[in-house]
């Protein structure tokens, strides 16, 4: 099982992610698009990196907005895996 990060590590790693914030033991990112089709296309791009990492985000889609939440459920909070995948998601266009 992945190791939970301490608060100092979480603060350091989250400072490296400009489009993410920490909310209730989760990383959160809101992506906005022109329309629903673009939002879905973005979500489809998440599949490959999430599967490769065997680490899957919680996703909410509302028309042109995609809300992404990352946490390591079986560890009960944030781990290194969450920050690695967040960086990969941040690079997706």
Where are the extended beta strands (E) located within 1-93?
Answer: 21-23, 26-32, 58-62, 65-70
d(CA 39, CA 16): 24
pLDDT in tens, 76-91: 999 999 999 999 999 9
pLDDT in tens, 36-70: 999 999 999 999 999 999 999 999 999 999 999 99
d(CA 93, CA 45): 9
pLDDT band at 2 (very low <50, low <70, confident <90, very high): confident
Annotated domain spans of the chain = 1-26+77-93
pLDDT of residue 5: 97
pLDDT of residue 1: 75
d(CA 47, CA 49): 6
Tokens coding 32? 């906005």
pLDDT of residue 93: 75
């Amino acid at each position: 099982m992945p190791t939970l990060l301490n608060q100092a590590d979480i603060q350091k790693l989250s400072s490296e992610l400009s489009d993410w914030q920490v909310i209730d033991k989760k990383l959160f990112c809101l992506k906005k698009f022109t329309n629903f089709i673009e939002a879905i296309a973005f979500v489809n791009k998440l599949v490959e990196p999430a599967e490769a990492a065997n680490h899957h985000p919680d996703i909410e889609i509302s028309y042109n907005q995609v809300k992404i939440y990352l946490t390591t459920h079986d560890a009960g909070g944030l781990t290194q895996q969450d920050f690695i995948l967040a960086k990969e998601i941040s690079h997706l266009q």
